[in-house]
Chains A and B, each alone.
Chain A
Amino acid sequence: MSTVLRIEDLTRVHGQGESEVHALRGVSLSVDSGELVAVMGPSGSGKSTLLTIAGGLDSPTGGTVTIEGVELGGLSRALLARLRRRSVGYVFQDFNLIPALTAAENVALPRELDGDSARASRRLAMHALDEVGIGELADRFPDDMSGGQQQRVAIARAVVGDRRLILADEPTGALDTDTGEQVLRLLRARCDAGSAGVLVTHEARHAAWADRVIFLRDGLVIDETGPPAAVDSLLGASTTR
């Protein structure tokens, strides 16, 4: 099993002077292919910051991020964009689909942006949509779909074109319990098929789908567990604070 994502001693300071916020203060983490890692922690602990830096959307103040052996620090903006098209898939809490594009077009977007022909990218998109079980909704617009359907489209967009790293920031936050479970099942299946996944969540139930759980607080990893058995106790500790 190869390491897809390696994060070493990552720090990130937002703002300057008075309003300086240390969102991350030296986080290290590595995720292998086939592995799903859950990141938990209270609000403001730096989870989203970690994910945006891991995906190359934001750059760290210190430390390194390496994806499939490539260090992000030295990459130009264009190369980072290419990395997001080819290697990293993102899933957001509020879906972030483009309302002007159909489901299939949303899914095909990374491929099209990468220069694939419309036809080829649509074929890949249809495949990805079938995989998440909503192939029949391909030509619907996001506004005509339920939240769960939209999140499936978002997952399809995150995996289309065989991307090896999936970063999901509270993908179930806006969904009801059942739909949330289905979405997690999809992520799990995707990782079982060989991708690496990072899942930010604050529901222990969801963390149970992960192979490992990382706890963040005030920008530091306060615990790292193997199997997610001790999750409940740790979570209890952090919420009764």
Chain B
Amino acid sequence: MTRFFRGWRPMLRIARRDALRTRGRSILVLAMIALPVLAVVALDTLGRTSDVTPREGLPRQLGSADALVTSDGDTFAVDQNADLSWIVAGSAGTLLPRPDAATVSTVLGAGSRVIALTGGELAVRTRGGVSRPTGVELDLRDPMTDGLYDIRAGRMPRTLGEVAISVRFADRGFSVGDRITLDDGRTRRVAGIVESTGTLHQNTVLGLPGSLGVHNSTAHQAWLVSRPGGVDWAAVRQLNAQGLYALSRAVVEHPPPKSQLTVGAVDGSRLGSTQIAILALVVAMAVLEVVLLAGPAFAVGTRRQQRSLALIMATGGERRDVRRAVLAGGLVLGAVAAGVGAVGGVAVAWAARPVVQGFSTNVLGPFELSARDIAAIALCGLVSAVLAAVAPAVLASRQDVVAVLIGRRGSTRTGLRSPLISALLLTGGVGLAVIGARQVAGELTIAVAAVLAVVGMVGLIPLVVAQLGRAARGLPLAVRFAVRDAARHRSRTAPAVAAVAATVAGVVAIGIGGASLTAQHRATYTPRGPMRAAVVQNPAARPADWAAMRAAVAARLPASRVRSVLGLHEFVPVTADPEGPVDSMDIQPADSGASRIAMATTNSLGAYVLVGPAALDTLAVPMTVGQRAKALRTLADGGVVMLLPTDPGVSQATVVKLHAVDRSSDPKPVARWTVPAMVLTPRGTTMPALAIVSEQVTRHAQLPPAVTSLIVDRVTINQHVEDDLSAAMSSVSKTSTVYVERGFQDDSTRIILLLLGSVGALLVLGGTLTATFLALSDARPDFATMSAVGAGPRTRRLVAAAYAGTIGLVGAVLGAAVGFVPGIAVTFPLTSSSWIPKGAAGTDGTVLPDHFVDVPWLLVTGLVLVLPLVTAGIVGLTARSRLPMISRLS
């Protein structure tokens, strides 16, 4: 062991001195390794900080209480785990009385204290209309509530006439001392402005129990409890037996053993093998990328050291010693970079907390470092540095000592190792991608395939570069020089080209996958209403409400056209009791009992079955004049217009009337008859409704049509108008919703592609620029010679540009070629949708393909052609034009 260290000690000393002597190159390597370490450490720390564990979350949920007991209105026994991340609503057993505070007190026994926490929707009149904050009734004077809210101004309410409001609600123009007017017309004085310690930007009004009147059907009932000795797991189970859930401090801090949990409640948040595999792939690719980016700097450093390394050999050193000398360089720089990156990452995370908080309404947890994670990340950095030094070390140990010592510059040629293994890896990767493309969930297989293919490609790059060098004859001087020089110094060029190629391969593969998925979403998008129109729905509205809502729209948007959509509610109550028996209607093609066409249907206009010819115009179904005339005729004849993804070629439909004892029971057919029918095939894969039926059909079924939605159009409805309309509708009826059909909205893909493009471009630039500038500094003697034979000042710039262009283009083209394989392959498992009926038309009216392939050409050409050429141009323009003087060299 000591002998082992003795062999390394002088090498480490040499490496340390050398790193200090060649500062520029050392800083380059440091940056290449420290920056990724820094980024990952910062992300990890921020992730852990913003993630609130159940234990960290206790104060913001419980305040100073021992437990929070919640009722979801269940009237059967329920089941839960310790931190409430798994709950099962009750559905069987004995029917329980609705639990109340007394139920809780009884379970917890003597000495316990229970205070109610009731939440529900409020309607408050503001200058801009009616605002709908959450009303919370809670006695905030009770010490159990300490820690739930921070007071920002004023104080907590003390009387029934006082409220506290959240910061967001206060932003609507309320301050302490103001009065707010509730729905019931009574006013309350704002005593304080508060912010929840758990969630920011909530729209909340707080008051003492009974002060707000939130006890309506939407109310949410809970109790904060304290109990001597805390609420243990046994007590939680007793509460469960009463239909209550409990989040208990004692239980979260000391979770019950798994044996006491229901099977399903056992925490399954451990990483699965798939996730571990993905993590391993990501880490492997990241390390590979860093190795490739830092590799050229080590290759150049080693060659600069060549003479001293040869001298080590000449003075009796072994190959092993030379290898160690180079590896020691990686060790020294890697250790420093890992340290700098880790410390920097923590610092960046600390500084970035306010920024992260700005993106999230969830209050961040305490600043949290994971020594284990940071050590692992730093180790990856160190390993990358040592790996980056491996190839140069091996090459250096194989060099021809004599050739180096007599000063022949040609001794850097690297032997071309048999490309067999690399070629096998590449073909294996391609083959595996093909296999993955045929699997149902082949994404992971394809990811593995991609890594294999990229590693294989990386191994083949020295060969490609060498071949290019041979093919360079006939190229313009600057390019020829750059290509040949790149080929001569493969140990420097190949990793840089490989870094560019690996990056581009990854970006192209992910880009194709993402763009294809978006293409599928776009093609199968189903509009929920006419384009640019607003659809107002209200499942609980009575006929009078609809009239009031129409009037409100007309008042707000006088220029608009408002149409009522007539339809059948999904369940039509038979009696006055809404919980009682219900009737419904189904419509099927009368095709001699063949199975129904697989299809997805929504009630985008508030009903599955629409009634009357007017519905033809309110549905966003494109049709020809002929189809329209035929549809009108069919409806006039007492028939139905079915909406199906493909036309089965039927002219009759079966109308089925169904009856069920209540909404949750199985409906049974009670009547069935045949009517004339025609079929419309809407675009997209989800049908906006089941059918349009004539009034005769509803009369025959004795199901009364009703207004199910309003369609507002002929005015421009931007976000502002939409909000306005929403507020107006809410002030008429709380349960109304407004949706504006704006077509397929695709923001996330664009952002993802942009992000991918930027990260890719950054890495491509990094690889290209390092290799170029290392090459330029290596080529100083050649530039001096060129100068001596009369090269003009432009020559250096041309060569610099040619270098950058060569490395960028070769890497990008190879990478794109390799990236296309997994990219295209992954579109099969990603977008082949067996659920789409064969022959269905997409949003643009054409028949949907089996699977979608969309190559983001802008990204690909940008990365493969534009970026290298622009980089070359910029390098050419910014490179020093002055050639070194021959007399200064020796």
Contact = CB atoms under 8 A, between A and B. Distances in A.
A78 B791 CA distance: 9
B408 interface: yes
A113 B790 CA distance: 7
Nearest to A89: B789
A81 B790 contact: yes
B467 to A, nearest CB: 15
Contact of A58 (B407, B413, B782, B885): B885
Given A58-B887, A78-B793, A105-B480, A99 B488 contact: yes
Contacts of B488: 99-100
Contact of B887 (A49, A97, A101): A49
A235 interface: no
Contacts of B890: 94
B548 interface: no
A84 B788 contact: yes
Contacts of B786: 98, 109, 113
A115 B375 CA distance: 58
Majority secondary structure, B binding face: helix
A68 interface: no
A100 B789 contact: no
Nearest to B883: A81
Interface string B781-825: 110111111111101000000000000000000000000000000
B788 A90 contact: yes
B409 A85 contact: no
Contacts of B885: 52, 57-58
Interface string B468-505: 00000010010011001100100000000000000000
B410 A81 contact: no
Given A81-B787, A118-B474, A57 B886 contact: yes
A113 B408 contact: no
Interface in B512-556: none
Contacts of A101: 480-481, 484
Nearest to A85: B790
A143 B790 contact: no
Given A99-B410, A100-B484, A90 B782 contact: no
Contact of A110 (B474, B784, B790): B790
Contacts of B790: 81-86, 88, 110, 113-114
A180 interface: no
Nearest to B783: A98
A96 B410 contact: no
Nearest to A98: B782
Given A98-B481, A100-B488, A143-B409, A110 B789 contact: yes
A11 B688 CA distance: 94
Contacts of A110: 789-790
B886 A96 contact: yes
B785 A96 contact: yes
Interface in A48-80: 48-49, 52, 55, 57-58, 77-78
A218 interface: no
A167 B257 CA distance: 92
A159 B409 CA distance: 25
A113 B887 CA distance: 21
A112 B788 contact: no
Nearest to A115: B792
A92 interface: yes
A117 B410 CA distance: 29
Interface string B398-426: 00000000011110010000000000000
Given A57-B885, A110-B790, A113-B795, A96 B781 contact: yes
B409 A113 contact: no
Nearest to A167: B788
A58 B474 CA distance: 33
B481 A55 contact: no
Given A48-B887, A52-B887, A143-B409, A97 B793 contact: no
A96 B481 contact: no
Contacts of A48: 887
A152 interface: no
A94 B407 CA distance: 10
A157 interface: yes
User: Contact size class for B?
Assistant: 20 to 34
A148 interface: no
Contacts of A41: none
Contact of A57 (B410, B480, B481, B787): B787
Nearest to A107: B789
A219 interface: no
B495 to A, nearest CB: 19
Nearest to B789: A110
A81 B886 contact: no
Contacts of A89: 789
Contacts of B409: 99, 143
A221 to B, nearest CB: 20
Contacts of A84: 787-790
Nearest to A56: B790
A142 interface: yes
Interface string B446-478: 000000000000000000000000000010010
A86 B789 CA distance: 9
Given A96-B886, A113-B477, A118-B474, A55 B785 contact: no
Given A99-B409, A143-B408, A113 B788 contact: no
Interface string A167-181: 000000000000000
A90 B887 CA distance: 12
A16 B407 CA distance: 33
Q: Choose among A49, A77, A88 the residue with the greatest number of B CB atoms under 10 Å from its CB.
A: A77
B800 to A, nearest CB: 14
Interface in B352-409: 407-409
Contacts of A112: 477
Contact of A157 (B474, B477, B481, B789): B789
Q: Choose among B410, B488, B789, B890 the residue with the greatest number of A CB atoms under 10 Å from its CB.
A: B789
Contacts of B787: 57, 81, 84
Contacts of A94: 407, 890
B410 A143 contact: yes
Contact of B792 (A82, A88, A96): A82
B887 A98 contact: no
Contacts of B784: 96
Contacts of B413: 143
A214 B484 CA distance: 42
A100 B789 CA distance: 16
A121 B159 CA distance: 100
Contacts of A81: 787, 790-793
B312 to A, nearest CB: 23
A94 B890 CA distance: 10
B506 to A, nearest CB: 32
Given A52-B886, A109-B477, A143-B409, A78 B792 contact: yes
A110 B789 CA distance: 6
A141 B408 CA distance: 12
A83 B782 CA distance: 19
Nearest to B886: A57
Contacts of B887: 48-49, 52, 57-58
A27 B413 CA distance: 45
A94 B886 CA distance: 11
Contact of B785 (A77, A85, A97, A141): A97
A90 B789 contact: yes
Interface string A137-154: 000011110000000000
Nearest to B476: A118
A85 B485 contact: no
Contacts of B782: 98-100
A97 B788 CA distance: 11
9 contacts: A77-B793, A84-B789, A85-B790, A86-B790, A94-B407, A98-B782, A100-B481, A113-B477, A113-B790
Given A85-B789, A90-B788, 4 more contacts: A84-B787, A110-B790, A143-B413, A144-B410
Q: What 9 A-B pairs are tightest by C-beta distance, nearest first?
A: A143-B410, A85-B790, A84-B790, A100-B484, A100-B485, A96-B785, A110-B789, A81-B792, A98-B782
